Amino acid sequence: MDYRVREGLPFPMGAHWDGKGVNFALFSRNASKVELCLFADDGQRELARIALPEYSNEVWHGYIEGLAPGQLYGYRVHGEYAPEAGHRFNANKLLIDPYARQLWGELRWDPALFGYEIGHKDKDLSFDERDSAPFIPKCRVVDEGYDWGSDRHPQKAWNETSFYEMHVRGMTMRHPKVRDDLRGTFAGLATPDLLDYVRALGVSAIELMPIHAFVHDQYLLDKGLRNYWGYNSIAFFAPHPQYLSDGGIEEFKRFVAAAHERDLEVVLDVVYNHTAEGSELGPTLSFRGIDNAVYYKLLPDQGRYYINDTGTGNTLDTGHPRVVQMVTDSLRYWVEVMHVDGFRFDLATILGREPDGFSQRNGFFVAVAQDPTLARVKLVAEPWDSGPGGYQLGNFPPGWAEWNGRYRDTLRAFWRGDPGQLPDLARRLTASGDIYDHQGRSPFASVNFVAVHDGFSLYDLTAYNDKHNEANGDDNRDGSDDNRSWNCGVEGPTDQEDIVELRQRQMRNFLASLFFSQGVPLLCSGDEFGATRQGNNNVYCQDNDLGWLHWDHDAAAQAQIRFVQKVIQLRQRYPMLRHGRFLLGRYHETLKVKDVSWINANGEEMTEGEWQDGNARCLGVLLDGRAQATGIVRRGEDDTLLLILNAAAQAVEFCLPKVSEGKSWERLVDTNIPDADAQSFALSAPYLVTARSLLLFVLRTQ
């Protein structure tokens, strides 16, 4: 074919079809030449190498007439191979376009993927001349046009939001209503019965674990394992190819539209902190060969080595304008073109790192804050990384929410029965104002969770004292040892009825605590029916029955699903469970109201001595519906609620408190009798609170 090449434009980045041809634009500050490589439909036969003819503002670009969607391509980038100076150009390596909208094929591990000769005495200082093209995925030109019809973003308010974390394969591989040929794909995830199930739970947002194209690490494949979770991205605009059943990115759009039809938001777990290229001994797949010294943070005066604040071997340099541009372009693409509703940022502390530490005024945060597209979606940070000063809980900019690890730790410790937990429990139940109540942030800055993908499942929290990660092939050394779990007396599965019942109640305690706490709840898929990972708290490599959900629910699992539906419905019914202002426990002189009061078993307010009693394990929380709901000074008109939590090993007789204007207390939830009907109790009546149980009452005024 006689390719007709024109100068093209340096913007937009990536490969873009205009109906007549394709414009290619690739940033590289330090390259000396960029070749576009076109491939046949089989992905193996290289049809042409075309030098991009223009270099404008550090962007190489060219326009090829006649090319159309479906065209496979990659880049070869020429430049200096000088690892000690931070440069690792090697034109023998075919490179993935950082802006590729789709990848075709899977990476096949081979020594040719590395820029240096494996086994050479000089390691990465050596130079490898083998062609990597046969082994690397190809980029694919796409047609971004799509008829969204009447699709709209649900745009749920934060006080209506509850996240449901799920994995594409984990959710679909064993679901009975998903067609066999669609298991493990976005099309499978769009199965009506599956999405209807999620909607029926009552959650408002699906949080998808990473779906950007990622790499399966060679050391895992050698052990017969795979990178199941996907925290190993290599292309931030492309869906993972394995998740596409029909080979087209429209499949993801159809899933999003199906979720939106059910009023469910779609939030992506994104990994902009590192890439799959690893350390200096890793492969050359994309960024390393395009401009290593720009894309990655390198050690000062030791450009051969990478700063490893992520614990993965490298760290993306989001302090560089072009890297910030790539990340924000990616975010906008997923919102504007793919219609997603928000993002959860993995190891988000990385994004705010400056040379002298974490800063809210980092260039990335500034870029996001002024972006009108990103201003209307949900932004959630995982507020830690493995670098120095990496734990930044509560320090993200206003407008961001954060995964609250303190909430997880406190709730686990409290329900395990650890001593001295009441003061911290009170803070966590009220959206951790000690952490987030500054700069005008709201209670919804706190994303509360008890169990997520990383760590024990909810059931395993109640069934294992120790991790059991032997299946991962690392002699049980991987995964956290700080689980704060309690096996209720027996390690692992048991038929002992008293222990089975206690585990079920403990799970209900966790679930009710989660949805009755101020802030935003996050539920991990499967926890609503007691899924187990058999004590493995790090199933990152278990793309199999250990990591997947099983849907053959017994009576106990079905009962737990009903309980989850009930507590979510109650959260939506009673605004005091999702109050828009921090509850401070102060008496308002004008309104004659205290928004929250802490109640002891005598039905009276807690004393200082009781707060300091390390053996105390029972607490009442009185949420007054007359509390000021907005910045306008006026009484609220919501129902008043009483929450009682008892983590003691013995029952506690609790005097239901007197409340002005109240006539009786109506019991809504008792985790000891989860299917009990509502029942009324007189003010000051004693209620026997079962050992290790939770109750919720609403005040009746008539």
CA distance 90 to 104: 22
Residue 438: φ, ψ to 5° = -160, 160
Contacts of residue 554, Cβ cutoff 8 Å, sequence gap at least 6: none
Q: Give yes or no for a contact between 636 and 629, defined as CB atoms under 8 angstroms apart.
A: yes
For 21, the 3-state DSSP assignment is: strand
Contacts of residue 655, Cβ cutoff 8 Å, sequence gap at least 6: 601, 602, 603, 684, 685, 686, 687
Residue with tokens 């984990």: 170
Q: Give yes or no for a contact between 545 and 174, defined as CB atoms under 8 angstroms apart.
A: yes
CA distance 234 to 283: 11
CA distance 540 to 161: 27
- Spatial CA neighbour of 562 closest among 534, 530, 533: 530
Burial label for 50, CB within 10 Å (0-12, 13-18, 19+), is middle
Q: Give yes or no for a contact between 142 and 104, defined as CB atoms under 8 angstroms apart.
A: no
List % helix, strand, coil for the chain (3-state, nearest 5).
Answer: 25, 25, 50
Instruction: Write out 594-637 in H/E/C secondary structure.
Output: ECEEEECCCCCECCHHHHHCCCCCEEEEEECCCCCCCCCCCCCC
- Going by their DSSP bridges, the two strands 4-6 and 14-17 should be labelled as unpaired
The DSSP line for 131-147 is --GGGSPEEE-------
Pair of tokens at residue 252:
């993801």
For 407, the 3-state DSSP assignment is: helix
For 185, the 3-state DSSP assignment is: coil
Catalytic residue chosen out of the listed positions 217, 291, 382, 543: 382
Contacts of residue 650, Cβ cutoff 8 Å, sequence gap at least 6: 691
Pair of tokens at residue 544:
């199999």
Contacts of residue 448, Cβ cutoff 8 Å, sequence gap at least 6: 404, 407, 408, 428, 514, 517, 519, 520, 521, 522
The DSSP line for 144-212 is -----TT-------GGG--EEEE-HHHHHTT-TTS-GGGTTSHHHHT-HHHHHHHHHHT--EEEEPP-E
- Spatial CA neighbour of 262 closest among 334, 212, 211, 189: 189
Q: Give yes or no for a contact between 385 and 346, defined as CB atoms under 8 angstroms apart.
A: no
HSE-CB for 431 with a 13 A CA cutoff? 26
The partner residues of 73 in beta bridges, in order of sequence, read 38, 139
Residue 545 annotated among the catalytic residues of the structure: no
Pair of tokens at residue 434:
């000690």
Q: Give yes or no for a contact between 254 and 190, defined as CB atoms under 8 angstroms apart.
A: yes
Q: Give yes or no for a contact between 343 and 233, defined as CB atoms under 8 angstroms apart.
A: no
Catalytic residue chosen out of the listed positions 265, 291, 341, 346: 346
CA 174 to chain centre: 22
Residue 277 annotated among the catalytic residues of the structure: no
- What letter represents residue 385's amino acid? D
Q: Give yes or no for a contact between 605 and 599, defined as CB atoms under 8 angstroms apart.
A: yes
Q: Give yes or no for a contact between 71 and 38, defined as CB atoms under 8 angstroms apart.
A: yes
Cis peptide before 12 (omega within 30 of 0): yes
Enumerate the active-site residues: 346, 382
